[in-house]
Amino acid sequence: MIQMKNVYKKYPNGIVALNGLNVEIEQGEFIYIVGPSGAGKSTFIKMMYREERPSSGQMFVDDIDIATLKNRKVPMLRRQIGVVFQDFKLLTKLNVYENVAFALEVIEEKPADIKKRVMEVLDLVGLKHKAKMFPTELSGGEQQRVSIARSIVNMPKVMIADEPTGNLDPETAWDIMNLFERINKAGTTVIMATHNQQIVNTRRHRVIAIEGGLIVRDVAGGDYGYEG
């Protein structure tokens, strides 16, 4: 469902972050993106939701070339892709329920559907009982679960996460990982950039290693492959 053909990305400052990348990802896969700092992992992820546009090459989501997708259509692409970040990106003035509902309100879903869906995902991430609390009253792991709930509340086909456990202690990181696997089991493609060696080596999935803007390794059930 996602294909990249010779994707090349040069930032305006001249740095080449992706150097002719080729990859194919099927619906329902679970993928780790690994590699040293500055390798181009975040850039790779940003391509998928069109935060960045390839400088050249083709990039397809559901057979649609998103490299040339009109800006006007980008919101429609983003409704198919849930994104999770290291820093959660929650709105501090809204409570847990409102933060998740926000994602559906701004794409104009029906209020009745919003309520139902938000309660479902809060249940899934185990925060139904904290729906009225504010982000500042939650632990890091809980905040990340809110942001995961928000990313999947619209039932996207793909969930991408850029170092989702980067700010969490090891214990909490495992909770988040369990959640991702559950979401993946339900049929959602999960793509996760990570530096967490322990998780990658324990929960085996396809590993794509990027170095210097190129895929240097792509192994189903592979290991992390770098020193701690």
Partner 1 sequence: MSAMWLEVTTAMKARTMVRHFRESFKSIGRNSWMTFASVSAVTVTLLLVGVFVLIMMNLNKVADDLENDVEMKVFISLGAEEEIVQNLESQISDMPGVESTDFSTKEEELTDLVLDLGEEFRLFEQSNPLFDVFYVKAVDPQQTEKVATDIAALENIQKVEYGEGKIQKLFDFLNAGRNVGLVLILALLFTAMFLISNTIRITIVARRREIEIMKLVGATNWFVRIPFILEGMWLGILGSIVPIGLVALLYSKVTEFAQPRLTGELFQLLEFTPFIYQVSALILMMGVFIGIWGSFMSIRKFLRV
Ligand X SMILES: Nc1ncnc2c1ncn2[C@@H]1O[C@H](COP(=O)(O)OP(=O)(O)OP(=O)(O)O)[C@@H](O)[C@H]1O
Give the nearer residue to partner 1 in terms of CB position, either 105 or 123.
Answer: 105
Instruction: Give the one residue of 13, 71, 112, 221 binding partner 1; rule: CB under 8 A.
Output: 71
Spatial neighbors of 160 by CB under 8 A, at least 6 apart, are: 45, 48, 49, 81, 82, 83, 84, 190, 191, 192
Q: How far is the CB of 130 from ligand X (least distance, A)?
A: 30
Q: How far is the CB of 7 from ligand X (least distance, A)?
A: 12
Give the nearer residue to partner 1 in terms of CB position, either 90 or 177.
Answer: 90
Q: How far is the CB of 167 from partner 1 (least distance, A)?
A: 17
What Cα–Cα distance (Å) separates residue 191 from each residue in 17, 81, 91, 108? 19, 11, 24, 27
42 binds Mg ion (CB under 5 A): yes
Please tell me the count of residues contacting partner 1 according to CB under 8 A: 27
49 binds partner 1 (CB under 8 A): yes
Give the nearer residue to partner 1 in terms of CB position, either 89 or 129.
Answer: 89
72 binds partner 1 (CB under 8 A): yes
Stretch that binds partner 1, among 100-108, 131-139, 200-208, 215-223 (CB under 8 A): 100-108
Q: How far is the CB of 183 from Mg ion (least distance, A)?
A: 21
Instruction: Give the one residue of 16, 64, 119, 214 binding partner 1; rule: CB under 8 A.
Output: 64
Q: State both tokens at 211.
A: 């170095």
86 binds Mg ion (CB under 5 A): no
One symbol per residue from 5 to 44: x for binding ligand X (CB under 6 A), - otherwise; what is it?
Answer: ------x-x-x-x-----------------x-xxxxxxx-
List residues near Mg ion by CB under 5 A.
42
List residues near partner 1 by CB under 8 A.
49, 61-64, 71-73, 75-80, 83, 89, 91, 102-103, 105-108, 111, 150-151, 154
